[in-house]
Structure formats: structure tokens, C-alpha cells
Structure 1
Amino acid sequence: MKDDNIKLMTKICKLYYYESWTQEKIAEKFGVSRPIISKMIQKAREIGVVEIIVHDDPQQTTELEKELEMTYQLQQVLVVPTRDLNKELVTSAVGKAAAQFVQKLIKNGDRIGVSWGNSLYHMVREFPLDKKDDVKIIPLIGGTGNERTEVHSNQIAYELAKRLGGKCESLYAPSIVETEQLHEQIIQLPNIASVLREGEQIDLALVGIGNPYSMSTMERYGYLDETVLGELKELDAVADINSRFINRDGEIVDHPINQKVIGIGLEQLKRVHSVVGLAFGLHKIESIKAALKGGYIKMLVTDEASAFKIMGE
């Protein structure tokens, strides 16, 4: 959107929200119809010119955040108030809160790595336009295919770069390949190797935490069949981060699938200064706890119900 349009939109929103002008009065001032003003106000909310925040009782979530930070030695935790919200509204609330949380972490000149999945997709979808200088987004895992490309790391990197006015790389490879031999061949290709090297030098990583057995993005895309899921269960795997599987103690499981992933490994992820894990929903309690025990994430964004469960078990 052009700067002139955003300036006009901002003027209209200030009159509407700060000075309580009616839409009819604003329309008359600018010589347009009331529906045009209504659409501009709605558009301002969609692109982040206007943010509407309902202040919930912060005491309970603040205490949960402190408990989680102390228990798992985390830099920061954001617990999103979600009481009385249905599933769809919880997803939107966590996505919006995560976007605001991450926005505050990003500085000029940062190199930001992104994984893939629904949590990151909803965060980026809610991310406001916030131009930064010399910011670059790097996908931390491959992702190709035609199904739901919006949750792939390349698309998430592209969308986030667009909102930050920065650049992005693309990792043109599948997230998981058929054999370890093919994996070794692909990661040595110059264009793949250069992106993976950049992924090892990031300032901030944004990753999802998956449950391989419930609402799994990887299963939906055919990376996990019943045989592999059975083998992972035998190994006590309860979570995946950047498509690598860990057990409930946070240890990387000894399964061939972990050697076939095109992306940075979990030990490399541990060396990143700031790693934000995004995960919510009661089906992810064990997955989140495993990620925390393994020390793979340094900040957590989750919903209130999940935070209660994590600390209560």
C-alpha cells in the first residue's frame, strides 16, 4: 500500500478512535461515502495501522509467566489470556499476541530464522507493517509442494520479510527426503549449503513445536505414515522442532527420519542467542514440556490453559 494511502488511513483512524467522530462526519470531511470510510477503518485494523487491545486481568498470566521463566530458565514467556474463547478465537488471539511479542524483539540488522507450521503462519498473518533496516529472513528448513504452501518456511520467510521491508532467502528442497544418501547429496548443493550456513548465523529463531500424533502438520503432508509413527512412539518421541523428533526428556531420538531432514539441527538451534517457541493447545502439553526440558527454546509463547497444565503437572 502506498504511503499516501496509509497517511490518509491514519488521519481517519485518529478522528474515529481518538476524537470519537462518527463515520458520517469523517466521510463529509473528506468528501467520500460512509462505506468507504468504514472499509478504510477495517483495512487499518487488518494491516496493523490500528491495534485493538482488550486488557484482561494481567495478574494471573503474569504469575504464570514468572513461574515458567524460573522453572525452565527462560529469557521471556508470554502467556496469552484465552479464557472463554472458542478454538478459532484462541488461534487468532495467540497469533496476534505472538506477532506483537516478536515485533518487539526484532532490531535493525537482525538475521531471523523461521521454521514452519500453523503457529508461525498465524503469527505472520497478524504481523503489522514495521519497516526495519537491513533485516533478513532465512528459512530454517526446506519445504516444497503445492499443498497449503502458506505454512511452509519459504512462504513464512517471504511474508515476514515483506512486513519488515527486508530481504529473504529460500531453501528450495523438501523438508524430509527419502534416504540419508540423498540428504547428503542435497545439502552439498551450493544454493542449499549457502542458505543452511546462513541459518547457523542467525540472531533470532522462530519455531513451532509439533505433536507428531495429534493434528500434526507433518502427518498431514505425508511425511509420517503409520509405520514411522509407531516407531517414534516406541522411542517415546513426543515432539518435533524443525522436523526433528525428541522424547519427553528433550533428547533427540535415534530414528532414521532425523537424519533425512533438510534444515538446521537442534544442536545448532541451541547455539542461537534468542529462540522463540510458539505452541498452544492442550494436545501440545507434553510436546512443549519436552522442548523446554531439552533447552531448545529460550522464549515461549503459549495460551493460558496450556501454561496452567505445564506448571500443574
Structure 2
Amino acid sequence: MSDFNQERTRILVKASMLYYEEGLSQQEISERLSMSRPQISRLLSAAKAEGIVRITIKNPFAEEQQYELAITETFGIRNAAVIQVPSADPKLTQLHLGRAAAAMLESVLKSNDIIAIMAGRSVCAAGQELHFFTKKNMRFVPIIGGWGAEGAKWHANSNARVFGEVLKSRYYQLNAPAIVASEQLREMILAEEKISEVIQLARRATVAVVGIGQVSEEATIVKSGYFDIQSILRMKARGAAANICTSFIDDGGRILDCEEENRMVGLSLKELRAIPNIIAVAGGADKAAAIAAALRGGWIDTLVTDMETAKCLLKLGRAKG
């Protein structure tokens, strides 16, 4: 090593030790060494490039992150969070997915965001797992009316209220059923000033938190009394694979005609798609086909799911490809 290179290396080592071992900021190092801050930044980059500094990250989530990357690449979405769940118990899965979604929202949500909230157990779990964090002027708004008499604690109104109360933010209520007796009655309800205001606010949302419903007799929308068995079986016979908001899609993610949608109070899937950041919280092997349909259709930007579901999704992605 020439004398010049040796002295250059000495400077690289000194800057690196001050930054990585003593914890000084780049500005503090620049003052100590009488160099500009950009020079310090270049020294630290050179130290890494030349192997003087080797950064090792102890990553307990390496396996999950491999699946996250595979899902984003396979389906072309922006982001994914894959969670290891200790057992296949649906309630435990919802708890862990809710916790992961809550942590993600803390880093995603910004001051002045309007957050559209869907009905469903997984969305409810996310609200229940939230911890207060400070953002200014956030507003939470439901994107569909009530889902029948059952499951009131995870209706969109209830979910929006929980999010708003935990985060000490404004929240709104859509005081209408999700499905009414006729298209004419729906139009009358949507013409009501307060209901129209809530729907218009939902359309202006910057973030949406949604679930993805499967199409079966065990679906939440059937169990809640929101959709009767005959209607869900008819949609299944037409090729429906998933339900999101007021819309049904086939396994390729294409929207299907549905007579009941003309009687539903809430945002359609096309209206939802106009929201810049759509976060879906959904898991369980029984929902894998529904989630895959939503991914293929490009209806979501971020997916929070569990490991077993992620494995099923990748199999379905490869099979479809």
C-alpha cells in the first residue's frame, strides 16, 4: 500500500469509527474533522464499498420477507407483509394480522389523511390493535352501510369509530344499511344530505383499509345476514371468486354484474380503485382464491396476510401464469 493510500484508508477508518462506533452524526463528524458534510457522506460510502465497513443485519424475519418479495413480484403490487402465525386458528390469525396491519398503519398514515374503512373482522382486529400515535387532522370514514343485525362490532361504522377513537381523530358514520329493498330506495338514501356527505368524503380518501371476502355460504357477508345464501350461490355459479366493497369479481379480478349491487349503499370497487393507497388485511387458506383474484385484478396496493396463505397465493399465481 502506498503512503497516500494508507493515509486515505486511515481517514476512512476514522470517519467510520466515529459514525458507527461512537454514534456521531455526519454533521458532528464534519465539524470534528474539518470537512464538509457531503465529504463525510462520501467517505462513509467508500468505506462500505471497499470493505472497511461491513454491516450485518440480524434478521429474524428473513423467511417472511422472501415471501413478501415473491408476492410483490408475482402479482405486481406495491408492498406485502407476511406474518408467521403459531397455529391455524382463525381467531389467532385475525389477531396477528390485525397487529401487523396496525403497526403498518402507524408508519403509513400521515397528517390530513382521509382513511376509508371497510367492514369485516380483520379490519376490526387492526383497529383493536392500534396504539395511539400523533398525526394531525386525520379523518376516518366508512365505505359501506351496515351488514345486517349480526356482527355489529365489525360493521364499517363500528370499525371507523374504533380507529377514530384510538387515534383521537374525527370519524364519520354512514347511517344506512348496506343493501336496501330497491334501487329507487337506494337513490333516495344517497340523496340524503348527511349520507351523501359521508359517501363523498369516502371518495376523497387517500388511504383505504379493506378486507377481502370469499364467495361461499361461510362468507362473512352471508353469516352477517347482509347477503342471502341463494344470492351468494348465484354469484358463485357466475364465476365470482371474491367480494370487495359492493362488487364481486371473478378469479381473474374482473368485475361481474350483480343485481344486488344496484341496491347497495357504499363505494363500488371502481370507486375504491381511485383511492391512492389500498391496504387489504386478509388471511386464511379458505380465502386464498379470493385474495388471488383481488391481486390479479390490481385492486389492492398492499397485502397483509399470513404465511400459509402466502404459500397458497404463490401456488395460485404460478398456476395462473
Q: Which runs of 5+ in 1 are unaligned?
A: 1-54
Give the number of equivalent residue pairs.
259
> TM-score normalised to the size of structure 1?
0.79
Give the distance between the partners of 1:94 and 1:214, measured in 2 at CA.
23
Deviations 1:70-108 (A, max 9, x none): 122211100011254644332221111111112211111
RMSD: 1.7
State the match for 1:297 in structure 2.
Answer: 300
Q: Relative to structure 1, is the Cα distance of residues 186 and 298 closer, same or farther in structure 2, using a 3 angstrom cutoff?
A: same
**Higher deviation after alignment, 160-169 or 83-92:** 83-92
Q: How does 1:80-119 map to 2 (within 5 A)?
A: 80-84=83-87, 86-119=89-122
Residues 285, 308 of structure 2: 8 Å contact kept = yes
State the match for 1:224 in structure 2.
Answer: 227
Q: Relative to structure 1, is the Cα distance of residues 147 and 233 closer, same or farther in structure 2, using a 3 angstrom cutoff?
A: closer
State the match for 1:148 in structure 2.
Answer: 151
State the match for 1:70 in structure 2.
Answer: 73
Q: Relative to structure 1, is the Cα distance of residues 246 and 161 closer, same or farther in structure 2, using a 3 angstrom cutoff?
A: same
2:280 pairs with 260, 268, 277, which one? 277
1:306 pairs with 294, 303, 309, which one? 309
Give the distance between the partners of 2:121 and 2:59, measured in 1 at CA.
25
SS in 2 for 1:199: helix
**Higher deviation after alignment, 110-119 or 137-146:** 137-146
Q: Which runs of 5+ in 2 are unaligned?
A: 1-57, 317-321
Identity of aligned residues (%): 28
State the match for 1:173 in structure 2.
Answer: 176
Residues 246, 269 of structure 2: 8 Å contact kept = no
Residues 144, 173 of structure 1: 8 Å contact kept = no
State the match for 1:265 in structure 2.
Answer: 268
> TM-score normalised to the size of structure 2?
0.77
The yes-or-no answer on 1:212 pairing with 2:219 is no
Tell me by how many angstroms 1:204 deviates.
0.2
SS in 1 for 2:130: coil
Give the distance between the partners of 1:233 and 1:84, measured in 2 at CA.
29
Tell me by how many angstroms 1:214 deviates.
5.1
Tell me by how many angstroms 1:293 deviates.
1.2
Give the distance between the partners of 1:192 and 1:221, measured in 2 at CA.
22
